[in-house]
Structure formats: C-alpha cells, structure tokens
Amino acid sequence: MLKNPSAKYQPFPAIPIQNRQWPSRTITKAPIWCSVDLRDGNQALAVPMNVSQKLDMFDALVKCGFKEIEVGFPSASNTEFSFNRRLIEEKRIPDDVTIQVLVQAREDLIEKTVQSLIGAKQVVIHMYNSTSPAQRKYVFGKTKEEIIEVARHGAKLIKDRLHRLTEGGTKVTLQYSPESFSATEVEFAKEISEAVMDVWQPTPEHKMILNLPDTVEVAMPNVYADQIEWICTNIKNRDSLIISLHTHNDRGTGTAATELGLLAGADRVEGTLFGNGERTGNLDIVQVAMNLYMHGTEPKLDFSDMNGLIAMYERTTGMTVPARQPYSGELVFTAFSGSHQDAIKKGLSGYDQHKTIWDVPYLTIDPHDIGREYHEVIRVNSQSGKGGVAYLLESEFGIELPKDMQREFGPIANDLVDKLGREVSGTELKGMFWKEYIERETPFALHHFHADGVDGVFTCRCSLVVNDQERGVVGTGNGPIAAFVNALVSDAGAPAFEVATYREQSLSSGTEAAALAFIQIKTATGKLVWGAGVDTNIELASIKAVLSAVNRAG
Ligand code: KIV
Ligand code: ZN
C-alpha cells in the first residue's frame, strides 16, 4: 500500500445540498421491494442458474412476499429468454406479482426483450445506461450530450414498441437507471433522467420508476442519502416518479446506504437475498427488511422459514451464507462469551414471564420468529461461562443444575473444553458431567443398598467396594440418607462430613423415567462439594449422589 494514498486516491466531493432533511426522519413503513436475485445476483455467479434453478428461486421469492421480481436480462441469452417464456406460458406468475426485465438502450436488445414479455399480465421494462465521468470517458468515449442521446433514443425505442404489449392487455411500467448514479454528478443525473421522462411522459397516475444505483459504493452512506435527497428535491415532476434504490456493498455499507436513502425520500428498494451480487454483492434485502421488523415495522416480506430459504439459495446459486451474516448466518444467535450467555439465559427466562416487548440482551430478535430454535442460541467453547454450560444441559437434556453447582461445574467444563481446543456439543458436555459426577467409583463404589426404618430410626445395610475390596457396612440415622452417611463415616472409614443441600428432579431418557439427585456435602474442614446420582429409584439416586460427593471430596 502507498505511504501517501492521496497521491493516487481522492476524497468524494460533497453534494451541494442545503438544509438536508433526512437526518431527522425515521422509517415508519416498508418500501416497495424488488428482488434482483434472478438478474443482478444471477449474473454474478460463476455458473449462472439454469431455468429450473431460476424457477425454484422464483417460487421461493414469491413465497417470501416479493411483488416485484427482476427475472432476468431476456435479450442476453436463450436461457434468460426461455425462462421468461416459461414463466408466462405456464402461468407461474401470481396475479399480484410483476416481473421486471433489464435491457440496454439498444434496438435489437429492446426488440427481443419486448418479444419475451408477450402475454404477461404486468411487467416493468428496466432500461439503463452508464452515466459516470469514468464510464463516459473510458468506456463510451462520449460527451454528456451524447450519453443523454443514448438514453433518449433507447427510451423512444421502448415507447414505440409498448403497444405490442398493451394491446394484448399487458400493464407496463417503465424504469430507467442512470447506471453508476452515485459516481455521477447529481446535476447530470437529473438532466439525463429528465430527458428520459420527457420521452416516457410519466404522470402521478402512471408513474415511472427512477432507479438510482449505487452501482459501485464510492462514498459514505450519508453521501448517497444526500444524492437521493438532492434528486428528490430538484427533479421535475417528483410526484410522477417512484424513486428506487439499488445499492452494492463495495465499502461494506450497502445496508446503511439503503436505509439512509429511504430516509432521504426513496420509495422502493432493489436487492438480493443474503446480498449475492457482483463483487462484494448487492444489498442484502433480508437485512433491511429484518431491521424494520426489529423496530416493530411490518416489513411485508416473510422470512419465517429462514433455514428453508437458505437451503434454496445454496441449492440454486452454489453460494453459501456467511456464518456471521446478520439475521441469516449460522452463528448470529450464538453466544460464545460466558457473560453474554449468562445475560441471554436470564433475558430469555425474563421474557418468558412477560412475553410482551422483546428485550433479551444480545439478541436483536426472537430466533423463533424466523424459524430458528433456542437450542441454537448457545454453544460452548473455552470462553463460555457457567451460564452457557447450564443452558445447554438444560435445553438439550432437561438437566437443571442447582445454581451453586453451576458455579462448580462451569470451570471444570471450561478446563476440559480448553484442553480440547474446540467447541463442544451438548452430548459431549453431558458426557463430561457424567464422568465428573455420576461415574465416580473411587475410593467408594456402591454394590448394594438397603434401608428400613422402625419408629423413625433408619438402618442401612449396604455393600461397598472400598479400595478394590468388597465389604458390608451398617449405619443408622433419621432417614435413609442420614443412615448411609453414618455408615460411610463410622463403618467405611470416610472422612467426616454432613449433607448441606439436597435437590432432586425427574429426568426422562428414552422410554425410561429416571431421577437425578444433587447433593452438596460439607467436609470437616468446611469445604463444600457437590455430587450427583441417577437411578430409576429416587432413594438410590440420592445415595449415589452422596457417594459421588464423598468420592469427589476425597
Ligand atoms: O448496479 C447497477 O447499477 C445495476 C443496474 C443495471 C441497475 O445493476
Ligand atoms: Zn446492480
């Protein structure tokens, strides 16, 4: 990289706007959405979609609620052309959905495009030509006036052919994009757009769409907002226009640019699912819709089956959704840090009690709303705290560790996970818990236990394996547990201790119901140690829990 980048790169000039309005506005309703997955997204794929993949995606977009779908560039290839024909001839387009097609301002391409649309109910014909200084200079070698003439000529060619569609009952809306708008002088963008308007003659009753692409992000999103507000304020006949945004993501701010563009007065948004598109991608339309949703605004797009949508996307495009992609990524409802996990666990149980406004720390939305499961929320690695460990044991296996025991087992689990050097599954975590508490057999293992009571005095007779030797031991107390404690200390040679805390719960594993007992003992030195035991018999589960604690204390 250069020591002095200003020798090669320059800042983007400010937009001549005074008294800008957009910073103090808020977005209160969903824009008109247009998916460009099947065109802009498709053209950016190493292997573009075939007709059946495009049909698969079209159906999924309709299911999400898109009412405008740019289906392709029908003059560009046979696949694109025949896709249009199949959609129309097989009557696959619902009555409330408009298909949109892209075309350059060239006669042969316009002709083929019109042919591809015959018989459709309602269509948008989207014409574009490039307008930025670099495109004018390097790509076309044309003056501003010549570039305007390209647009004007293309607009006329389309207008002259419209009757071929309208006579058959097709409702046509026209769309113009000064491509590379955000890198174009706003005055020139206005001039060329007005030249197209002069040909198409939009009215408030029959508007045209003026799409203002951030073809390449060349500035901060506030600059794009200024450009949009400038056009909205200065262009003639604003009420005959639907102002549309089309952002890409070169500086990583495509979503911000779209949102600020909406504040600046735009009515419509073009984008793709998960941001597929040229280079760094198009706007991820899911993000903008879900951002509205998380503020309580109905987005008018439905992503309830996010996993199904991702599967469709990966199947049709061969792309994957990055794990950290907002809302859709695999890890976005996953907390690795212990303090986050703890806060989420508390927030989720708090929310479960009031079930009104979502206020769970670290989770912008309820994962259930988009078909994600709570058990995906927390996974455990060496950075996780006791909260995450407890959450996973409870959500996956119904094991409800007492709070104090969470504090004991959390660090033990963390150490083990740290040694493994990777994230662990719930099953592995349960295995660690079993090894630490349930499967302890030294120095004492239980072979047989029996207790009975007369007049409130219980006697237990059991056989233990102590240091590899089987022996019978006897003890008495005011209950089976007290009798067993007495047997261990007075007959089996265990160091003195008393039971400090006792908890039990039922646990269903497979078809068999079992009991899980947690016992905390206090040794003669005041040390507190937990033990756990599992058995189909609750009394035996408690006895095993006592032994587990004694074995661990030793
Ligand atoms: O990014 C862009 O400018 C485009 C246009 C064709 C609208 O995709
Ligand atoms: Zn684009």
pLDDT, one tens digit per residue, over 362-377 is 999 999 999 997 544 4
Query: pLDDT at position 202, please?
Result: 98
Q: How far apart are CA 357 and CA 208, in angstroms?
A: 40
Cβ neighbours around 95 below 10 Å, total: 7
> Residue 64 to residues 71, 272, 285, 286, 295: CA-CA distances in angstroms?
15, 12, 11, 10, 19
Name the average pLDDT for the chain.
Answer: 94
Cα 181 to middle of ligand 1, angstroms? 9
Query: pLDDT at position 468, please?
Result: 85
Query: pLDDT at position 418, please?
Result: 86
Cβ neighbours around 373 below 10 Å, total: 11
Q: How far apart are CA 284 and CA 325, in angstroms?
A: 9
Query: pLDDT at position 510, please?
Result: 58
Query: pLDDT at position 376, please?
Result: 47
177 lines ligand 1 (CB under 6 A): yes
User: Do 88 and 120 contact (CB within 8 A), yes or no?
Assistant: yes
Q: Which residue among 177, 227, 250, 280 has the greatest number of ligand 1 atoms within 8 angstroms of its CB, and so is best to mutate?
A: 177
Query: pLDDT at position 225, please?
Result: 98
Query: Which pair of tokens denotes residue 128?
Result: 């574009």
Sign of CA dihedral 304, 306, 307, 309: positive
40 lines ligand 1 (CB under 6 A): yes
Query: pLDDT at position 379, please?
Result: 62
- CA angle 277-96-328, nearest 5°? 35
> Residue 354 to residues 235, 340, 341, 347, 351: CA-CA distances in angstroms?
50, 21, 20, 11, 5
Query: pLDDT at position 213, please?
Result: 98
Query: pLDDT at position 424, please?
Result: 86
Position in ligand 1 atom list of the atom nearest CA 278: 1
Q: How far apart are CA 81 and CA 111, in angstroms?
A: 12
Query: pLDDT at position 287, please?
Result: 98
Low-confidence ranges of the chain (pLDDT < 50): 375-377
- CA angle 195-197-201, nearest 5°? 135
Question: Which among 392, 397, 430, 391 has a CA at the least distance from the CA of 509?
Answer: 397
179 lines ligand 1 (CB under 6 A): yes
Q: How far apart are CA 199 and CA 211, in angstroms?
A: 17
User: Do 127 and 103 contact (CB within 8 A), yes or no?
Assistant: yes
Summarize pLDDT for 274-330 with one digit per residue, the tens: 999 999 999 999 999 999 999 999 999 999 999 999 999 999 999 999 989 999 998
73 lines ligand 1 (CB under 6 A): no
User: Do 362 and 343 contact (CB within 8 A), yes or no?
Assistant: yes
